[in-house]
Chain A
């Protein structure tokens, strides 16, 4: 059990570029979550998967954002045409089932310049 792994840890990109973050959950965890956190705020829910099915998406997840979990293992979060307001830490988390402990990764920091 190596924990939830996120890559890259830090990304600086120019406004208008696309970026992709990857999350590897704890092995055999069926549920995978994405959250966004800005400085001084608590994490905000973006979306979650159960296996490969995306079950819920927040209104925060505009059409520039897309998340996938193609084989029910790792997940990617892509942001197209980045804007300065997208600058935040993107957190991934996983759990076995709803109601069990949810484990977070170290996050991926995005800075849009």
Chain B
């Protein structure tokens, strides 16, 4: 059974900092891994999808890496902005997505 852990559970940083969110998973037999953003009371917005054969993906200020063999992924956010404040969820997929509890990120102006 896939288990996903995200560290830290919460993070508060001043605007402009670069930061890293960590995700670990127990079963490396995955098709891909997605990172999502969730604003309070809202659905999930897909940020990045990394196929199992890839090492990383970039979109704007976001960069996600995947090390399938060690069961780890990281999401790097450059030059953080207050609008980045949200909960970030990673989810490896093998037929279905399995989620961790997420990292609640607060960017202070």
Interface residues of A (CB under 8 A from B): 4, 33, 35, 40-45, 48, 55-56, 91, 93, 98-107, 109
Tell me, in angstroms, the Cα distance from A43 to B90 when the chains sit together: 11
Contact A98 B95, CB 8 Å, known A103-B46, A107-B43: yes
Segment of B13-21, B62-70, B99-107 engaged in the interface with chain A:
B99-107
Interface residues of B (CB under 8 A from A): 4, 31-32, 34, 36, 41-46, 49, 51, 89, 91, 93, 95-102
**Residue among A4, A45, A56, A104 making CB contact with B98, cutoff 8 Å:** A45
- Majority SS at the chain B contact face: strand
**Residue among B32, B42, B96, B100 making CB contact with A107, cutoff 8 Å:** B42
For the complex formed, measure the closest distance between the CB of A11 and the CB atoms of chain B, giving whole angstroms: 15
Q: Kindly list chain A residues whose C-beta atoms are within 8 Å of the C-beta of B31.
A: 98-99
B95 and A42 contacting across the interface, CB-CB below 8 Å? no
Tell me, in angstroms, the Cα distance from A111 to B77 when the chains sit together: 35
B93 and A45 contacting across the interface, CB-CB below 8 Å? no
Tell me, in angstroms, the Cα distance from A55 to B45 when the chains sit together: 25
Tell me, in angstroms, the Cα distance from A42 to B98 when the chains sit together: 9
Tell me, in angstroms, the Cα distance from A107 to B39 when the chains sit together: 12
Q: Kindly list chain A residues whose C-beta atoms are within 8 Å of the C-beta of B101.
A: 40-42
In the complex, residue of chain B having the shortest beta-carbon distance to the beta carbon of A44? B99
B44 and A45 contacting across the interface, CB-CB below 8 Å? no
A98 and B93 contacting across the interface, CB-CB below 8 Å? yes
Q: What are 6 A-B residue pairs whose CB atoms fall within 8 Å in the complex? A: A42-B91, A44-B99, A91-B44, A93-B97, A101-B49, A106-B43
For the complex formed, measure the closest distance between the CB of B39 and the CB atoms of chain A, giving whole angstroms: 10
B97 and A33 contacting across the interface, CB-CB below 8 Å? yes
Tell me, in angstroms, the Cα distance from A9 to B50 when the chains sit together: 31
B46 and A56 contacting across the interface, CB-CB below 8 Å? no
Contact A56 B43, CB 8 Å, known A42-B101, A99-B32, A101-B49: no
B32 and A105 contacting across the interface, CB-CB below 8 Å? no
A33 and B43 contacting across the interface, CB-CB below 8 Å? no
Contact A105 B43, CB 8 Å, known A40-B101, A42-B101, A99-B31: yes
